[in-house]
Amino acid sequence: MRYLVRNVSSLSGSIRVPGDKSISHRSIMLGAIADGVTRVEGFLEGEDALSTMNAFRALGVTIEGPDQGRVSVHGVGREGLKTPAIPLDCGNSGTSMRLMAGLLAGQNLRATMTGDESLSGRPMRRVTDPLALMGANISSAEGGRPPLNILPVPSLKAIDYTLPMASAQVKSAVLLAGLYADGVTTVTEPAPTRDHTERMLKGFGVEVQVDGPRVSIAGGQRLTACNIDVPADISSAAFFLVAASIAEQADITVRHVGINPTRTGIIDILKLMGANLELLNPREVGGEPVADIRVRSAQLKGIDIPEHLVPLAIDEFPVLFIAAANALGRTTLTGAEELRVKESDRIAVMADGMKLCGINAQPTPDGMVIEGLGHLSGSRYSGATVESHGDHRIAMSFTVAALRASSEMNVLNAKNVATSFPNFVELAKHIPGSVFITWTVVPFTA
C-alpha cells in the first residue's frame, strides 16, 4: 500500500482521533487478570491493540467486542491464565510483547511470543534481563530478539531495579512481574516516562507507591474489575497538531485528547517552537487528564530540544522532524537513541526521506540536526518518493510533510498505519473544508 499525497493551503474543522493505544493495551491486560468484568469505552481498534486482545483470548480470557470502541473483558483472576495452544502473535506491537513478558513471567504456564518481521528484529533484552533477575525463565532468539519463550517458575523474587535508559515499556514489564513476586518490587527511572500502568493499576485497586523517580509495588495483590473510558491518543493527535501548525491557513480542534503529563512532550516542544496551541475544556476521565486541543497556523522556529522532554515525546519525533523542517532556523535533537530501535531506525529513515525532499537533515547517533525552511516565507521543499519501511509513524509523518511540498509526495509501504491509526486517511480527507490526502492503494514492490 502507498499514499499519494498532494498539498493544500488550508485546514479547518474539529476532529476526534482514535483511542489511546497505550491505555487500550493495558485495559485488556489488566482486565484479563482482574476479578470481574472490565468494561472499556473508546478502545482503539487498531492492529496493535487487537494483537493484545487476541493474545489474551488465546490465554483463555473471554473478551466481547470490540464494537464501536466498546469491549468487555471477563477477568480470570491473577492466576487464571491458561497455557496457550498456539504461539502468541504480537504482530507489530512491541508494547504487547514487552508488557506481556512481564505479566506472563510469574504465571504457571508455558508460552511463546512471536511477531512480524519488524518486531522480530527489535531488541528484547532490556525486558528479559531484569525479568531474569527476578527469577523468570525466558529465552529468546540470537541477539535477544523474538521469539520469546516463557517457562513456568516456582515464584519470582522482588528486585530494586534502576532502568539503564528511560522506558515506560520496561518499567511496566517489571511492575507487572512484581505483582507475582515475593516482596516489594521497585523501579527507578532516569527520566519521567508515561505512567499509564501505574494509574491503571490504581484504578483496579492495586496499591502503587510513587516517590519521585521510584515506583514500588507489593506482590500478591489482586485486581478488581472497573470501567475504563479511553481518551483520544495524543500520539495520533500529534500528526494533526503539526499539520495545522505548518499549513498556510489552519484552525483545527482535536477533541477529548489524553494530556497525561508523561505524554505531553509534543505539546511542550511545539510551544517552545512557537506553535499557536491552546488547551480547552480540561477535565479528568477515569483518572486520566483530558482536554480539547486547538491549533492554528504559526511560524515555527528552530530550537534545541530540551533532553528532559525527549522521553515524553519519544513516539512523536518523526512528525516533529517535519515540524522542524518547516521551522525558521536550526532544530537540534539529542538524547533520543531509543528512536533507532523502534519499528524502524526512525532517525535514519526520517533523515533519508527528508534528504530526498531536499531538506537539510543530518542524523547523529542519538538524534538529528535539521535546518528549517521557515514555511511562512513561502519556501517549500520538493515532493519525493519516500520509503516508510513499514513504520506507521514514518508513513503518517511524510503524509503531513506533503502539506508544504512543491509536488506530490509518494509514501511507500504504508500498510502498517492500521496498527495505530486505522482511519487516518479517511479522517484526514474529511476534515470539514479541507482535503489533504489523495490516496492510492497499490501492491507494494521493492
> Which residues, including other chains, have CB under 8 Å from residue 43's CB and lie 6 or more apart?
19, 24, 27, 49, 65, 66, 69, 70, 71, 230
Say how far apart CA 230 and CA 106 lie, in whole Å.
28
304 belongs to the catalytic site: no
372, 366, 364, 266: which is closest to 309 by C-alpha? Answer: 266
Q: Which residue has the cell 525479568?
A: 131
CA atoms 87, 90, 94, 98: torsion sign? negative
Strand order in the sheet with 145-151: 88-89, 111-114, 145-151, 137-141
Half-sphere exposure in the Cβ direction for 425 (13 Å, CA): 20
The DSSP 8-state label assigned to residue 440 in this structure reads B
Say how far apart CA 189 and CA 165 lie, in whole Å.
7
> Which residues, including other chains, have CB under 8 Å from residue 302's CB and lie 6 or more apart?
273, 324, 327, 328, 329, 330, 331, 332, 370, 371, 372
Structural Rg of the chain based on CA atoms: 21
Say how far apart CA 333 and CA 313 lie, in whole Å.
12
Conformational region of residue 281, where left means phi above 0, alpha means psi within -120 to 50, and beta covers everything else: left
For 277-297, give the DSSP string.
EEEEEEEEETTEEEEEEEEE-
Say how far apart CA 442 and CA 446 lie, in whole Å.
12
Which one of 20, 89, 315, 391 is the catalytic residue?
315
Other residues' Cβ atoms within 10 Å of the Cβ of residue 371: 15
308, 288, 112, 91: which is closest to 203 by C-alpha? Answer: 288
Half-sphere exposure in the Cβ direction for 13 (13 Å, CA): 16
> Which residues, including other chains, have CB under 8 Å from residue 271's CB and lie 6 or more apart?
277
Cell triple for residue 243? 499539520
49, 6, 11: which is closest to 421 by C-alpha? Answer: 49
Planar angle of CA 399, 357, 440, nearest 5 degrees? 35
* Residues marked as catalytic: 315
